[in-house]
Homo-oligomer: A and B are copies of this chain.
């Protein structure tokens, strides 16, 4: 049986370009005991993908040159040598950017599509949501009444982090790009305020939206926004370094000039990677599913239908911040 897969053929410099990928047709191997063949329906498109394309030590090994581009995805089991997964089952896993994926059943999560749409399992209840959950609660440690600032507030992780901070009784301020997104963050996600970083009055607006300073900053963006936040942090503030989408394609590295505010305020800046929390995924998903059922947490996703060959175009939407909510690529032939 034939598979079509998107292979990484070169390492990007700056923004990835279409020509660093090759669409390759290849014969699938036979299934082994315990494996399933999955037809990929949806891919989770994440800023972290940009990092996976780089050479060098990171929290996960780089995608090798000639290897299928790594991606989390969801699809249906179309052939099975598993005793726990049956034909037609919906599953999520590290499918990669390809039409079909062969995975051990132990690496798949079975999805209940009768309760929630498939994309919810890649977004709010997937890696994005879990990243927000553990990063905010374990590392940010927000207390009721505190002020939580979230950058990338209209993005997959930021939206969930801010909503959980609201559930915990915090005053939550978002940062997003453009009036439409800011409107979404306040009116659909329920943040107390959202500041538009594209506005000419951004710096002033940000200060005004934070009259009581910042106790927790959940940062997905980095760059100037991190420096501005550092000036406003409170005594014993916690800065969660979840990502730095403003920097992933930068060819000149940038550093937070105001980092000595950590000293002045005895504050902390700490990096997180969701994978460390794997033993607690299940209980987190249960708690978040409860919040979804209560209407406190949205599963809205930004689904783009495209063929495999257009993967890079869809990925670039992240860096152009065209998406509102979780960016999902729905594969079409």
Contacts and interface: CB of A to CB of B under 8 A. Distances in A.
Nearest to A254: B257
A269 B262 contact: yes
A263 B255 contact: no
Interface residues of A, number: 32
What is the copy number of this chain in the assembly? 2
Contact of A256 (B259, B270, B271, B273): B259
Interface string A255-281: 111111111111111111100100000
A2 interface: no
Contacts of A266: 59, 270-273, 276
Contact of A58 (B59, B253, B257, B264): B264
A150 to B, nearest CB: 16
A273 B263 contact: yes
Interface stretch (A177-185, A193-201, A237-245, A298-306): A237-245
A57 interface: yes
A265 B254 contact: no
Contacts of A271: 260-268
Nearest to A247: B260
A142 interface: no
A162 interface: no
Contacts of A140: none
A227 interface: yes
Contact of A269 (B58, B244, B259, B273): B259
Nearest to A269: B269
B222 A264 contact: no
A243 B254 CA distance: 21
Nearest to A243: B263
A260 B222 contact: yes
Contacts of A272: 263, 266
A262 B247 CA distance: 14
A270 B267 contact: yes
A264 B59 contact: yes
B247 A263 contact: no
Contact of A257 (B255, B258, B276): B255
The 4 A-B pairs of least Cβ separation, nearest first, read A255-B255, A263-B271, A262-B271, A255-B257
27 contacts: A227-B255, A241-B259, A241-B263, A242-B263, A243-B263, A244-B260, A253-B257, A253-B258, A254-B257, A255-B255, A255-B256, A255-B259, A256-B256, A259-B269, A262-B269, A263-B273, A264-B273, A266-B270, A266-B271, A266-B272, A266-B276, A267-B270, A267-B271, A268-B269, A268-B270, A268-B271, A269-B270
